[in-house]
A and B are shown apart, each in its own frame.
Chain A
Amino acid sequence: MNLFRNVVFIAAIAGLVAGVVLACMQAYATVPLILKAEVYEQAEGGHSHDHAAAPATPTGAASGTAMSSAPPAANSMSAATPAPAVAAAPAEDEGWAPADGFERFAFNVVSNVVTGIGFALILVAVSEFAGGIGNWRQGVFWGLAGFAVFTLAPGLGLPPELPAMPAADLTQRQIWWVATVIATAIGLGLIAFRKSLPLAILAVALIVAPHIVGAPQPDSFETPIPEGLHHQFVVAVTLTNLVFWLVLGAVVGVVRGRFTGTATSLRDSFA
């Protein structure tokens, strides 16, 4: 299990570095927008984290003020909490959640690092099949591919969403997300590593197909979240993920180069 151990070791270092970088970027770029959205969410009537129920509540006579159609519990809640942003975990069957402030930030760092290690494992394993990432520059290209596969492609159909935004059934969206990621990854792989026109055409078809099928959409797009806030969030998420993937790929290249001692094995590479 020598190879497996090396892959895990490289992925752990790269995931740690990229995850910490991502968490720092999120603290400035995305988390403040999430907190703003939570103010709207709580004003609308509680933290609606349950899966399919999101579009059901505000569809009725909610013209202008969504408050009117909210259940009575919402009124008491908004009256009781003058500053909803500072309010701790919402009371309704939400289960445990980290307290706002440092605890929430710390959990965010941990989940970013864990996510980073997970993505790094996939990146290192797949790139080893293709000859391995020889240096930081090749890593940047692999990072771009990862960004395209895991952020851009699924983000086209399912844009990054803020709390309180309507969405279709969670499981269906997850299935579409996974299918899109797999199709895009195979497509990019065919383009990069097979020198055949029919396969390239197949690759394009694979990349386009999930978007022709279409991502699951909510019944209603009505939301208390302002359009501008959501747009800002989409831009912030896309850019922070771009930097995350570039750092992840580059660090894998550097660490792997130190492992192998030869940063110049350019065979099988396209960088």
Chain B
Amino acid sequence: MNTASISLGASVSSQSRFMQLALAALLGTFIIGFVGFSHIDAVHNAGHDNRHSMAFPCH
């Protein structure tokens, strides 16, 4: 937690850095995909107002 470096986790190699950031972005994409784009009815209904209010394609 308390890495006293300038960028987050500067100690890691650039390749590992790329992989970790890509992994984080991928995780975010999966979360958005599940909440906003899933065709499962229950997921759609649970997030119904959110989907409309975020202007995700819906229905």
Residues of chain A having any CB pair with chain B under 8 Å: 1-4, 6-11, 22-23, 26, 30-31, 34, 48-49, 51, 54, 89, 94-98, 104, 107-108, 110-112, 114-115, 117-126, 128-129, 131-132, 151, 154-155, 158-163, 167, 170, 173-174, 176-177, 236-237, 240-241, 256, 259-262, 265
Contact = CB atoms under 8 A, between A and B. Distances in A.
Interface in B19-38: 20-25, 27-32, 35-37
Contacts of B54: 115, 151, 237, 241
Contacts of A54: 59
A62 B25 CA distance: 47
Contact of B55 (A8, A112, A241): A241
Contact of A118 (B3, B8, B31, B57): B31
Nearest to B3: A2
Contacts of B57: 158, 167, 170, 173-174, 176-177
B56 A94 contact: no
Contact of B21 (A111, A125, A262): A125
B53 A26 contact: yes
A97 B45 contact: yes
Given A151-B54, A265-B7, 10 more contacts: A26-B50, A34-B49, A34-B52, A96-B45, A97-B42, A98-B46, A111-B50, A122-B32, A167-B58, A177-B56
A128 B51 CA distance: 28
Interface residues of B, number: 46
A3 B17 contact: yes
Contact of B46 (A4, A111, A237): A111
Main secondary structure of the interface of B (DSSP, over half): helix
Contacts of B5: 260
A163 B48 CA distance: 10
Main secondary structure of the interface of A (DSSP, over half): helix
A81 to B, nearest CB: 18
Given A34-B53, A94-B45, A122-B29, A7 B59 contact: no
A160 B52 contact: yes
A241 B8 CA distance: 28
B47 A124 contact: no
Nearest to B45: A97
Contacts of A51: 39, 59
20 contacts: A2-B9, A8-B24, A8-B27, A26-B53, A48-B59, A95-B45, A97-B42, A111-B51, A114-B31, A125-B24, A125-B25, A128-B7, A128-B8, A129-B21, A151-B54, A151-B55, A154-B55, A173-B57, A237-B55, A260-B5
A119 B28 contact: yes
B34 to A, nearest CB: 8
Contacts of A34: 48-49, 52-53
B8 A159 contact: no
